[in-house]
Copies of this chain bind each other. A is one copy, B any other.
């Protein structure tokens, strides 16, 4: 017998992680209004969301703060301006990107921060650096996840070695990240089992992209195999094709702690206007094409931004440049 769980059941181990500001920030250069961030925070709390990721803690040496919204940096006082001491049941996360974060100085000791979890993002060749970041954050008192990106491009042996290193680190959670929206559920089942097994009692998470309209399906497939930390964004707002919609996962989960209505309200009050004002994210043919090619969505994002619709020509361009 397999170890699948039945998702019709009540599964209290599941954690819903909202990543709207972080992945959605890649859509609007992190330029969210304070009003929106406050409304999102309130909606997530009311919806029973377990963690809210506010953005990156990016290096101000590497990135000019004048060129980005403040959620690329998530300064402690910026966070506290929204959440105060965060006297809610929801935990606060930020992302620290390997090679783009001055973690030794910019990640404060937990006692001086309202942040609960540091999510360390890295590519497979950066795992040793990521582990230094993980140990730093852990020593400072945080929950720590390792979000290993773009694994659909990583060969089996190299991935196994990477998973072993991460599992032996102090990371509490290992994330399966489908950066290119390339995986389909049959593959997610295999990867989820590898990740859960590698973590040997610690936790696994999943972060999907919706290039093939599979972000929700892949999220619940991962969950069936024991992956408990599930990333969502409101209305799927995230880079390119976006992510698993908060609305979908919260409507689906059989746990009375979750309530999707505050999220619907937020979509009505804020997200529809963002789209009407020209922000673009969500499934479209060019994202399907980059996913099938297992490549970064940047060419598809440019195709959409340029207002192109010559899909056949784009398909030929993609196969030429690979």
Contacts and interface: CB of A to CB of B under 8 A. Distances in A.
A231 interface: no
Contacts of A218: 217
Interface in A1-44: 6-8
A311 B216 contact: no
A221 interface: yes
B288 A7 contact: no
In this complex, the member of A221, A285, A289 whose beta carbon has the largest number of chain B beta carbons within 10 angstroms is: A285
B216 A248 contact: no
A210 B283 CA distance: 13
Contacts of A251: 212, 288-289, 292
A43 to B, nearest CB: 11
A214 B245 CA distance: 12
Interface string A200-218: 0000000000101111111
Interface stretch (A72-80, A146-154, A163-171, A264-272): A264-272
A264 B245 contact: no
- Copies of this chain in the oligomer: 2
A70 to B, nearest CB: 29
B261 A220 contact: no
A216 B264 CA distance: 24
Contacts of A214: 216-217
A288 B235 CA distance: 12
A267 B283 CA distance: 14
B220 A185 contact: yes
A261 B285 CA distance: 11
A285 B247 contact: yes
Given A185-B185, A186-B7, A315 B216 contact: no
In this complex, the member of A210, A213, A221, A283 whose beta carbon has the largest number of chain B beta carbons within 10 angstroms is: A213
Interface in A264-322: 264-265, 267-268, 272, 283, 285, 288-289, 292, 309-312, 315
Interface of A: 6-8, 184-186, 210, 212-218, 220-221, 224, 245, 247-248, 251-252, 261, 264-265, 267-268, 272, 283, 285, 288-289, 292, 309-312, 315
The 3 closest A-B pairs by CB, nearest first: A217-B217, A264-B311, A251-B292
